[in-house]
A = this chain, B = another copy of it.
C-alpha cells in the first residue's frame, strides 16, 4: 500500500482527494492536514465522508514521512515549504499554481511577481496525463494543471499540434461554477449575489493563459484570447473555443484529427450526437467524474471551428487529474479509483 499524506485537506480539492484516495485499492491515507481544523474529524468539513472517513485533521506541523504527498495549499504556500515536503516524501504532487510554468519569465507576466525558486521549475512534470504520460511514469514531482487550462488545452491541442488553426486568433470563453473559487466565502460568493448570476469575472488577464500558451505553442508565437464567466453551477467548466482554420477542412477531417489524438484515451470522450438534446459536452454530465468530454461544430459560413469541452473542475480539473498522475507515477492502471461514471439526471 502506498502511504499518502494530503497537505491542506480542508478545502474542496483536498476533500475530493481524500474521497478518491480512501477508496483507491492501492493507497493508505495516513494523514490529512489542516491548520484551522486540526483535531476535528475530516468529515466535519466534508460531510459526504461521514461514515466513510474516520480520520481527524492533523496540523501541518505534525506531518510525517509518506510515500507521496499531495499538496493542496493556497497558491504561494507550496513554494515556501517545498524543501520540507521534499524531505518528507520522495514524490510530490502539487495542486497549486506554484510550479506550473516551466519558464521563470512566465511568473511576472501571469502572476505579477518573480518566482522565488526558479531552480526547481524544471523538476516538475506538468500535470496533464494526456500530454505528459511518459514523463509522468518516471516523475517524482508533478504540478497539476489549472482547471480552465486543462479544459482549454485538451480542447485545442489536436488543432494546435497539427497546425490546423490560425495560431493567434483563438477566442476561448469559459463558463465556470462556484467551487472554482474554493471554500473561502466572500461577498462575491454570498448566495443572494452569486445565485443565478452570469458574471464576467475575468474577461481578460486570466492566469491560466500562461499554462495554455506553454502547452499549445510548440515553439511558435500564439495567442489565446481567454475570458471567464461565472454561471449558476457548483462544479464544472465548459470552455467554448472559437478557432479559425487555416484551410477549409471539412468535419470529417477534423473528426479524424481528434480521433487520432484521443482515440485511446481512457478519460476523453469525443461527443457528437446527431440528435437528442445532449449533442455536445455539458459540465453537469461529467460531475464527479474524471472525464473531459470534447465536441465541436463547424461553422459552414466561415473558417470558424467551435470546440466545446466540459470537465468537473474539482475532478479532471484538480483531484481526479492528480490521482490519474499518481496512478501513472506508481504503476497502477491509469483509471484506478476513477471509475465513477457520473449521474443522469443531475
Contacts and interface: CB of A to CB of B under 8 A. Distances in A.
A-side interface mostly: loop
Contact of A190 (B183, B232, B269): B183
Interface stretch (A79-87, A120-128, A138-146, A281-289): A281-289
Interface in A45-65: 46-52
A30 interface: no
B282 A197 contact: yes
A227 interface: yes
Contacts of A278: 47
A169 interface: yes
Interface stretch (A95-103, A156-164, A173-181, A323-331): A173-181
Contacts of A192: 12, 177-179, 183, 189, 234, 345
Contacts of A44: 273, 276
Contact of A232 (B233, B291, B302): B233
Interface string A68-82: 000000000000000
Given A23-B339, A191-B234, A223-B302, A203 B297 contact: yes
Q: How many protomers of this protein does the assembly include? A: 4
B235 A346 contact: yes
Contacts of A269: 50-51
A346 B315 CA distance: 12
B195 A306 contact: no
B346 A187 contact: no
Contacts of A90: none
Contacts of A277: 187-188, 193, 199
18 contacts: A19-B343, A23-B339, A47-B344, A171-B242, A175-B229, A178-B191, A189-B192, A190-B190, A194-B195, A196-B234, A197-B282, A198-B310, A200-B280, A203-B308, A225-B299, A232-B232, A234-B345, A340-B340
